[in-house]
Amino acid sequence: MFDVLTDSFKAAINKIRFSDDEKALKNALETLKKSLLKADVHHKVVKELLSAVEIDTKKYGVGQKQFLRAIRENLTRVLTVKNGNQGFVFASKPPTVALMMGLQGSGKTTTTVKLAVYLKLRKKKVLVAACDLQRLAAVEQLKQLCTQNEIDLYFDDNEKNPVKIAKEALKQASDQMYDVLLVDSAGRLAIDEELINELARINEVLSSHERFYVADSMGGQDAVRSAHGFHDKIGITGVILSKYDGDGKGGIALGVASQIGVPLRFIGTGEKSADLESFIPDRVVNRLMGEGDLATLAEKTSTVIDEKEAKAITKKLQKGEFNFNDFLTQMESMKKLGSMKSIIGMIPGLSQVAGQLKDFDFENSVEMKRIKAMISSMTIKERLSPSILNNTRKRRIAVGAGLSQMEVNRFFKQFENASKIAKKFSSKDGMASLQNMMRQPKFPR
Ligand SMILES: Nc1nc2c(ncn2[C@@H]2O[C@H](COP(=O)(O)OP(=O)(O)OP(=O)(O)O)[C@@H](O)[C@H]2O)c(=O)[nH]1
Ligand SMILES: [Mg+2]
C-alpha cells in the first residue's frame, strides 16, 4: 500500500553510513526530498519534515541510525493531530453517529458500507442511513451493498427530505440500541451553497460525533483542497482516503493531517467491502520504514478468525480429518482479511514482495474459482471424507467443474500435501520440526 513511499525512505537511508558527515546527510535529504515530491507529498509538508529531520539528525550525531530515528519521530509528528481521534472512536453513549461527506463519486457510499463491515466484524451493531436523495439510484446502490454485506439499512422511498430521513434513522438507532449509525449523504461536483446547507441541517438533527470527509486519493492535492471547504462550513473530524489502491502515488496520505489539521482516519484500498484499513500514525510509520505492522495484522485476523473455530480446525488437522468443507470455510475467512497485498505489507520483511502479489485475489483468482467449482461438484460425503475419492469419482468431478482430469488430479495432490504439512505443524512438536527445517541452510554461503 505504501510501497512508493517506503522505497523513498529506504533510498535516502541507504545514502548514509553508520557514522557519516554532513555532506552525506545533505545528499540523503536531497534524495528524500526529490522522491517525496515525486510521490505527491505536499511541498510544504516535505519542507517542514526535512528541516526537522536535518536538525534532529545533527542533534543526535550524523549517522544512519540517528537519521532513521529523526525520520521516524518527525513523521509520526506530521501524521498526528493533537486531540484528534485515531481509528474509529466510540461515543460514551451509543449510538455513535458518523456523517459521511464528500464530492461526487469520491467513494462515500462504498466507504460507508466498508466502515459498517469493519465495525460489524468488531461485534458492533451498525445501522446505515440512506440520505442521498440527489442521485438517481443512490438508495438502490446502498440497498444492494447492504444486502450483500448483511448490514441494516434505514431508508424511506416515500420521503423526499434527507433531513427527515436522518432524524428518523437516528430515532431508530437509539430505540433499537444500535452501537453506530453511519449516514451516507449526497455528493456534488463542487462545493455549493445548497449542498452545504443540506449537510448542515442533516448534521444538526444528528448531533454527529464524527464527520468524515471522504476524499478520492486519485485526485491528488485537489482532494485535500476541497476538504478545507467542508471543514470551514461543517467542521470535519476525520479524513478517509478512498481508492488508495489506484494509480496515485500515495504521498497525499502524508500531508492530510498537517495540511487540514484533521487526522487521516482510514484508507480505502480496493473496491471490496473488506478493503478498508485504519490509519494509526505510529503503526503506519513502521510500515513506511518497511518494518511491517504486526499490531494491525493481529487485530485484523482476530476479527475474522474465531478462536474456538481455530482450535477445532487444529484438532481436525492433527487427526488428519481436515476435509473440503473446512477448506471452504478457511477460504471464506481469508477473503474477509482483504487483499493479499495489504496483508503481506503488514508482515515485517515481506513488504518488498508485496508488489509481486498485488493482483492475487482470493475471491476471483482463476485458481480459487477452479477449486470452488471442484468442491461444488462433490457430493456431501466426498467433501467430508476426501479419502473415498477414487478415479471414477474424480472423473465425475472434473466433468462437473468443467476441468480436465489432470487439473483435478493436481488439485487433489496439492490438497493432500497441504494436509500432511499442516498435520505435521499442528502437532505438539510441530514448531520444533519447523525450526529444525529453518536451521538447514538452503543457500550456499
Ligand atoms: N479501487 C477502488 N475503488 C473504489 C474505492 N472506493 C470506492 N471505489 C469505487 O469508486 C466508485 C464511486 O464510489 P461511490 O461509493 O459510489 O462514490 P460516492 O461518493 O458515493 O458517489 P456519489 O454518491 O455519486 O456522490 C465506485 O465504482 C466504487 O466501487 C477504493 O478504495 N478503491
Ligand atoms: Mg453515494
Task: Point out the ligand nearest to the CA of residue 103.
Answer: 1
Q: Specify whether the CB–CB gap between 216 and 243 falls below 8 A.
A: yes
- Percent of the chain exceeding pLDDT 70 equals 87
- pLDDT tens for 373-417 read 888 899 989 988 888 989 899 999 999 989 998 888 888 887 887
Instruction: Report the CATH number of the 3-79 domain.
Output: 1.20.120.140
The verdict on the CB of residue 107 being under 6 Å from ligand 1 is yes
Give the β-pairing of 264-268 and 126-131. unpaired
pLDDT band at residue 30 using 50, 70 and 90 as cut-offs: very high
The verdict on the CB of residue 277 being under 6 Å from ligand 1 is no
Ligand 1 atom with the smallest distance to the CA of 275 is 31
Give the pLDDT of residue 439: 46
Task: Point out the ligand nearest to the CA of residue 339.
Answer: 1
Q: Could you give the CA distance from residue 115 to residue 8 in angstroms, rounded to a whole number?
A: 30
Residue 100, strand partner residues: 212
Mean pLDDT on 88-103: 95
Distance from residue 281's CA to the centre of ligand 2 (Å):
28
Q: Specify whether the CB–CB gap between 223 and 106 falls below 8 A.
A: yes
Ligand 1 atom with the smallest distance to the CA of 187 is 25
Farthest-apart Cα atoms in the chain, separation: 75
In whole angstroms, how far apart are CA 349 and each of 212, 217, 234, 248, 345? 33, 26, 42, 24, 9
When mean pLDDT is compared over 249-253, 311-315, 377-381, the highest value belongs to 377-381
C-alpha cell at 14: 541507504
Q: Is the torsion defined by CA of 335, 339, 340, 343 positive or negative? A: negative
* Residue 298 pLDDT greater than 80, yes or no: no
Ligand 1 atom with the smallest distance to the CA of 267 is 31
Ligand 1 atom with the smallest distance to the CA of 104 is 25
- SS3 of 185, please? strand
According to CATH, the superfamily of the domain at 96-291 is: P-loop containing nucleotide triphosphate hydrolases (3.40.50.300)
Q: Could you give the CA distance from residue 161 to residue 378 in angstroms, rounded to a whole number?
A: 52
Task: Point out the ligand nearest to the CA of residue 219.
Answer: 1
For the domain made up of 299-439, give the CATH fold. Answer: 434 Repressor (Amino-terminal Domain) (1.10.260)
- What's the whole-number average pLDDT of the chain? 85
C-alpha cell at 179: 452501537
Q: Could you give the CA distance from residue 235 to residue 226 in angstroms, rounded to a whole number?
A: 13
Distance from residue 214's CA to the centre of ligand 1 (Å):
10
Distance from residue 215's CA to the centre of ligand 2 (Å):
12
The verdict on the CB of residue 248 being under 6 Å from ligand 1 is no
Give the β-pairing of 238-242 and 264-268. parallel
Q: Could you give the CA distance from residue 272 to residue 278 in angstroms, rounded to a whole number?
A: 15
The closest of 270, 372, 395 to 325, measured between CA atoms, is: 372
Q: Where are the domains of the chain?
A: 3-79, 96-291, 299-439
Ligand 1 atom with the smallest distance to the CA of 112 is 15
Among 134, 144, 271, which is best to mutate for testing ligand 1, by the most ligand atoms less than 8 A from CB? 271
Reported pTM: 0.76
